[in-house]
Amino acid sequence: MNQKPADLARLERYAPGTSEYTLAIITDEDHASQVELEDGQTAWKSTLRYDKLYRDVHPDTGKVSYRLEEIPEEEGGEHQLISLIAEGGRGAEFSELVQFGKRLVTFDDRTGLVCEIRNENQLIPRHILMTGSGDEKFKGFKSEWATLKGEDMIVGSHGKKPQEEWIKVLDRHYGLRSVDWREHYQRIRDTLAVGPDGYVIHEAAEWHPYRKEWLFFPRKISTEPFDEPVDERERGANTLIIADEGFSNIRTLTIGERVPERGISSFKVIPGYPNECVGLKSVEIGDHTETWLFSFNLDGEVLQEDTLVGRYKCEGVEIL
């Protein structure tokens, strides 16, 4: 019997009719990640939390909505992940979560580490991705988004600088290829008409195996040059990019109201309902951080208004 490709298996692990999901959400707390262990070692910490997501259908209208329910820490809803690997004094800045077969995988956007998460709080390093093609510079790849396509896991970055326009293709044995995607990123910028001075920052993307389309949900979109204080407060986006496999046909879809300080940091297509998605929005203004969760469909409807997850920054969500 032929095994389903990893991307299809991921979407079909729940049947249509499912109304309850378990979410995994991971933090990226930047400088606040550094901790000192009991034995005096310097380490870096991230929080992995679990939450329930419920899908409700109104009995009269048939309207779909989603709601989040927190699992208390004492019931296993929160776990600490400890990393001993850093770059430039920073580590455990996990920016995405992907279920790759039976493995829950996360990505450190500071060191380039690819880790499996086992037993809810054990990090198993499996690879270190290097910036750009991997040959130019001794610097970890700034992993920001990841998805499954066929049998492979595709890992990408912001797409804001040339070295962030490469993607990493990992097979089931963590064999690696680096692919230059500059033309794909440029086509997205052209579609959004940001012009030569503007930029687009990507932290959330999904390959949709049924539609054979790429879904990119930029965190920030600007027609003006990067200015950090303005970027933090004003550039949050609500435009979904839908592209065919080769990025030759690209269209956009507006999802809900734009909240300028909130930008999409991760989203996933919901297994059993391939027209519906759940995502995270992050706020990062100086030292002030927040994370919000929302749900939407690929027709542009909001199925769950922004729901506060916590007063800290989460950048990865996955449906277990």
Please tell me the predicted confidence (pLDDT) of residue 29. 78
SS3 state at 37: coil
- Taking residues 167-190, report their average pLDDT: 98
- pLDDT tens by residue, 246-275: 999 999 999 999 999 999 999 999 999 999
- pLDDT tens by residue, 54-79: 999 999 999 999 999 999 999 999 99
The better pLDDT of the pair 94, 2 is held by 94
What is the rounded CA–CA span in Å between residue 223 and residue 113? 32
Q: Which two tokens stand for residue 79?
A: 């776990």
Q: Which CATH architecture has domain 6-14+21-319?
A: 6 Propeller (2.120)
What is the rounded CA–CA span in Å between residue 168 and residue 146? 9
Query: Quick one: which H or E segment has residue 188?
Result: helix 182-192
Domain coordinates in residue numbering, the chain: 6-14+21-319
Work out the pLDDT band at 2, boundaries 50, 70, 90. low
Q: How far is CA 276 from the centre of its chain?
A: 16
What is the rounded CA–CA span in Å between residue 147 and residue 143? 12
Res 1 pLDDT > 60: no
Query: Quick one: which H or E segment has residue 276?
Result: strand 273-285
Please tell me the predicted confidence (pLDDT) of residue 30. 75
Percent of the chain with pLDDT over 70: 99
Please tell me the predicted confidence (pLDDT) of residue 170. 98
pLDDT averaged over the chain?
96
Q: What are the Cα distances from residue 246, in Å, to 40, 140, 214?
A: 51, 27, 9
Supply the pTM of this predicted model. Answer: 0.96
